[in-house]
Structure 1
Amino acid sequence: MKFASLGSGSDGNALLISTVSGATHTTVMLDCGFAVRETERRLERLGVAPTDVTGIVVTHEHQDHVGGVFKFARRHRIPVWLSHGTYSAVRKQCDGVTLHFCRDGDRLVIGDLELFPYTVPHDAREPVQYVASDGRFKLGVLTDAGQSTPHLIKALGDCNALMLECNHDREMLAKSAYPPSLRQRIGGAYGHLSNDATSEILSAVDKSRLEIVIGAHLSQQNNTPELAHEALSRAVDSTSIEIVIACQEEGFDWVKIAG
């Protein structure tokens, strides 16, 4: 099992999760916030053809996550999984796309991957994040959440790899040029996770099998890779658990979960 990011941030997000079983390859794309040609260009960088994508799974309807989903899916005839709430926000974009619906607690089987959606607090209609498994290894993903909950702490436990939002540094956000309403939204209970909040989440989850943690969805105005890395380092033993920071332009290259 391996995973890679096409890009992570407010200008667009897409994550690939892939596994091989015998002669069968399964690659799922989690969100697609890039235009079709840009998505194809970024896929090529990772050695993936659009026809290699088995399915697209959506977290919520904000454009940096869903902006390219339906055009890309329609062009390459790829099925899409999303919550009913997300569908209610994007239904006009869905013509000609094969849709499947999911909700918190469902078990989605896509090829040789299983995905488990779980609800998160975010200002969208029915936002979910996902834990993916190939039956041996688990990847937990958490972006676009305003606060920790016992539910998400439980969902992210016992993973081999975690990709966690480190959106902003609280002090940088407070001093930023953003208008007060935007600062309040980002830092609020249904906005985005700060470095400190993510560090607290990472401290609380079961890390008994954790090999690597990725800091993701960094604000280019209100955070730095160094601050995000420092916050994650406070929650793990960095001598045994690798820490990587995703970026907007390059995301990150393939990470293999070895066990």
Structure 2
Amino acid sequence: MACNKLYIASLNSGSNGNCYYVGNDDEAILIDAGISCRETEKRMLRLGLSMTKVKAIFISHEHTDHIKGLCTLSAKYNLPVYITPGTLAGCRFLLRKDLIRTLHSNLPVMVGDLVVTGFPKLHDAAEPHSFMISCGGTNVGVFTDIGAACEQLIHHFKRCHAAFLETNYDDALLAKSAYPYFLKRRISGGQGHLSNQQALEVFTAHRPSFMSHLLLAHLSKDNNCPELVHKLFTEHSNGTEIIVASRYEETAVYAISEPVAVHSF
């Protein structure tokens, strides 16, 4: 019987490492493995999540903060790794060949009752992908490391009961930061990261009425402020719970489900 509830958590979110958990009562996946195997285990244990439920790892792109724990974690638990050929070629290590699964754009992957669909995104990597995870009628999106909101992102965002959405930088903080000009251009140039304002525009223009949770992800340590972005989104939340995913610790686990339709007679 198909599930109708998903459990989600950010194990870490930021340039120091990214790892997101999405699962149901029986199986789960990780999106990215950018923190160490040991730290992944510790954080899941604190949350009461079991590694035995994790059945696969999906990789968004080859930047170190998304893959540095991948080899050890996948080998220790014999977890298949879904990864595009371009992303795999860009990794500076060798994954066990028996664990590699080719990720194809817009082709759903079944992991038990979970349906995971990767789709291309705008980022300065080889073949970067965002992800939609569905179970029954419940949908969760993982949308980080995005230079701009493309049509596919907007299409999937409109279907989400919950989402991880990048809010990497505040425009004013980035402008006056000590970052060199080329790095500022890389971040804000359309192939880098989403600003608070860009993400807010996605949220306010395309938030479905049934979205219960929004996790703000991949905040810059130097060019953003958790309190600032939480306040900004809360002012426009319209009933959606706003959570800032930390670069230092895991979030709580959130239960996401499709709202029950109310019929009047």
Report the TM-score, using the length of structure 1 for normalisation. 0.93
Hey, what's the Cα distance between the residues in 1 that align with 2:23 and 2:73? 18
Aligned to 2:22: 17
8 A Cα contact 1:77 1:97, kept in partner: no
Aligned residue identity for 1:130: F
Q: 1:140 deviation in Å? A: 1.2
Residue aligned with 1:219, SS:
coil
Preserved CA contact (<8 Å) 1:60 1:127: yes
Please give the per-residue CA displacement for 1:27-77, whole angstroms capped at 9, x wherever unaligned: 111101012212221221122333331111111111111111122101211
2:43 touches 2:250 (CA, 8 Å); kept in 1? no
Structure 2 distance, partners of 1:112, 1:69, is: 24
Question: What percent of counterpart residues are identical?
Answer: 35
Which residues of structure 2 form unaligned runs of 5+?
Answer: 1-5, 260-265
* CA RMSD of superposed structures (Å): 1.5
CA contact (8 A) 1:29 1:53 kept: yes
CA distance in 1, matches of 2:12, 2:152: 27
2:143 corresponding residue in structure 1: 142
Match of 2:90 in 1: 89
Q: Give the SS at the match of 1:11.
A: coil
**Match for residue 242 of structure 1?**
241
Give 1:91 deviation, angstroms. Answer: 6.9
Query: Could you report, residue by residue, the CA deviation over 1:201-243 in whole angstroms, capped at 9, with x for unpaired residues?
Result: 1123251321111111111111011221233235431xx2111
Task: Report if aligned partners of 1:158, 1:208 keep a CA contact under 8 Å in 2.
Answer: no
Looking at structure 2, the residues matched to 119 and 231 of structure 1 have their Cα atoms a distance apart, in angstroms, of: 28
State the partner residue of 1:186: 187
Contact 1:198/1:232 (CA < 8 Å) preserved in 2?
Answer: no
Compared CA separation, residues 217 and 11, structure 1 to 2 (3 A): same
Spell out the pairing of 1:221-232 with structure 2 (5 A cutoff). Answer: 221-232=222-233
Aligned length: 253
**Mapping for residues 5-44 of structure 1, pairs under 5 Å:** 5-20=10-25, 25-44=26-45
What is the CA–CA distance in structure 2 between the aligned matches of 1:41 and 1:206, rounded to whole Å? 34
Kindly indicate whether the alpha-carbon contact (under 8 Å) linking 2:200 and 2:233 is maintained by their aligned counterparts in 1: yes
SS of the counterpart of 2:27?
A: strand
